[in-house]
Amino acid sequence: MPLPPHAIPVLDHGFVRVLEVMGDDVGIVGAARVSFGNESKGEKADRGLIKYLLAHDHGTPFEMTAFKFHIRAPIFVARQWFRHRWSSFNEISGRYVSLEHRFFLPSTLRTPDMKNKQGSVEGGFSKEEEEGLLGEMDKSARAAYSTYESLLEAGVAREIARTVLPLSLYTEFYWKVNARSLMNFLRLRTEIHAQKEIRAYAVPLLRVFEEHLPWTASAFRELFLSSLDLDPEA
């Protein structure tokens, strides 16, 4: 099935798609200066103000902008995403629609990182072992979906039939987030120790952020992300 228009592909079946953007860098500056009855003082001064606001954690002016995204991601990624509660979500419901046969299957496997209990590292399997284990994962997802279809055909309610589906199933949701909360998401999810799969989504979101709020994004990168490797495959 083709991706929706203007969608940025992520992982094997996921995407990030921009639906709406409200506000810009100048609007952030205006919100910060409204107390003094003025707005822009020219690009150099405005960019300096944005950097000052970020450096000193004056976040309210950044709440005057908003992004609305359409996201498709595996359920286990979405559950990490939904922890960012200072934003709004609306997710597809398996109670109301039949869920599509679309599962995440990694290209390679990882083993636990002995130095970081939350992390993982590449390698640890022979080519034959990895192929066999990936095959078992694919077989398991296919079997689960086959059971799901059988339950639906037998007349079981969608809200019950869906319980057999694994966390690798793709879900879709709309995400509305202001720039302040988006930067919090990006600080956490581009970090090198974030799970690789959610980091793969954070990188295109950062690109979108840079496109629509270039002054803010430039200061944000300099202050918070300058030392990070933002390659999602890293």
Q: What is the pLDDT of residues 215-225, one digit of tens each?
A: 999 999 999 98
Q: Give, in degrees to the nearest 5, the angle at Cα 62 between 61 and 64.
A: 75
What architecture is domain 8-92+168-225?
A: 2-Layer Sandwich (3.30)
pLDDT band at 233 (very low <50, low <70, confident <90, very high): very low
Percentage with pLDDT > 70 across the chain: 93
CB atoms within 10 A of CB 42: 8
Q: Which residues of 131-167 are buried (b: 16+ CB within 10 A; e: fewer)?
A: eeebeebeeebeebbeebeebbeeeeebeebbeebbe
Please identify every residue annotated as catalytic. Answer: 189
pLDDT digit string (tens) for 137-157?
999 999 999 999 999 999 999
Domain assignments of the chain as residue spans, ordered by start: 8-92+168-225, 110-164
Amino acid at 145: Y
| Rounded Cα gap, residues 82 and 73, in angstroms | 12
Residue 127 and residue 134 in contact, taking contact as beta carbons nearer than 8 Å: no
pTM summary value: 0.91
pLDDT digit string (tens) for 100-140?
999 999 999 888 877 777 777 887 888 999 999 999 999 99
Amino acid at 166: P
pLDDT digit string (tens) for 67-100?
999 999 999 999 999 999 899 999 999 999 999 9
Type and span of the H or E element at 73: strand 66-74
Query: 208, 229, 220, 230: which is closest to 180 by C-alpha?
Result: 220
Cα 174 to its chain centre, rounded Å, is 11
Long-range pairs of 222-227 with CB within 8 A, sequence gap ≥ 24: 222/51, 223/51, 223/54, 223/55, 224/54, 224/183, 224/187, 225/186, 225/187, 225/190
